[in-house]
Every structure is written in C-alpha cells, then in structure tokens.
Amino acid sequence: MTWGPTSAVRLVGIREEPLSVEEMLAAVDDAAAGGVVLFVGRVRDHDGGKAVGKLEYAAHPSATERLAQVCASVADDHEGVVLAAVHRTGSLAIGDAAVIVAAAAAHRDLAFTASRVLIDRLKAEVPIWKHQVFADGTEEWVGSP
C-alpha cells in the first residue's frame, strides 16, 4: 500500500507524537480543491456521565496498514477526493487531538461526504482501542475485542 503527494491518499499514520492540523492541511493541499474539510477528534473531560481523568490509546500492529486500506477504499468510492488520516496512541491529556482526518475536493459536498465516511469507517474498522480511567478510579476499554 502506497500513499503520498501523487496519490488520492496523501498521509496515513498511527503515532505517539502530538498531531498537527497544519500537517494535515498541507497533506491535502491541492490547487484543484475548492473545499477542504478537517475533522479533529479531541479527548473530552467526560464520557457516559463520568469525569475522565486519563486516557490512553493502543493500536494493533496492523492498524496503519488497515487505516491505509480504509483510506484507499474511501478514495475509490469518492472519485476526485484527496485524503489524509492520522490517529494518536499512548497517553493523551484532556483537549489533545486523538484523531484527525482531512478531505479535499473540487466542491465542498464531496469533501464533507468523504470526510464523514472516512472517520466513521476509521472508528469501525481500524484496530485502535481506548482505555479510559475515570476521576473516580474506575476504568474501561472502548472498542477492544
């Protein structure tokens, strides 16, 4: 699976380092794009009515390859779109970006649609798991098999 500046999939990554909105916008920069949609999923301070104290993400070793496959499939289904997707692993603080997807296309409707499909499929199909530790000391794994 390849991606890069000449592909419809420009950037794919699973990483422990903080994510950059600027990197994502640069990745999908295209003179033909009249619309760019950026989705940033952030760590919130609550879930299910409980205060979140700490959050960690873990990924299966195949997660990057699976994310690339999902991106390629979304690009194939939405001709004319360019995409980028990155997800964070490790310990994250409240407010940190956990996932960013970007879609650029000639028109906004295609960019919005592809962005929505990409984030929904990423969440459903890429093996990344969230471990939440709540302020009351309880914890849960989300999305684990």
- Domain assignment present for 2: no
- Domain assignment present for 1: no
- Domain assignment present for 70: yes
3-state helix, strand, coil split of the chain in percent (to 5) is 30, 40, 35
- Domain assignment present for 142: no
- Domain assignment present for 4: no
- Domain assignment present for 68: yes
Q: What is the distance between the alpha carbons of residues 134 and 36, in angstroms, rounded to a whole number? A: 35
User: How many structural domains is the chain composed of?
Assistant: 1
- Domain assignment present for 15: yes
Structure tokens at 106: 């000639």
The closest of 75, 68, 73, 76 to 126, measured between CA atoms, is 68
pLDDT > 90 in the chain, percent: 90
Model confidence pLDDT, tens digit, residues 38-78: 999 999 999 989 999 889 999 999 999 999 999 999 999 99
Q: What is the pLDDT of residue 2?
A: 56
- Domain assignment present for 144: no
| CATH number of the CATH domain containing 50 | 3.90.1170.40
Q: Is the pLDDT score of 124 beyond 60?
A: yes
Q: What is the pTM of this model?
A: 0.93
**In the chain, count of helices (H) and strands (E)?**
3, 9
pLDDT > 70 in the chain, percent: 95
Domain of 39, in residue numbers: 9-136
C-alpha distance from residue 18 to each of 21, 32, 49, 117 (Å) = 10, 29, 27, 24
Q: What is the pLDDT of residue 145?
A: 64
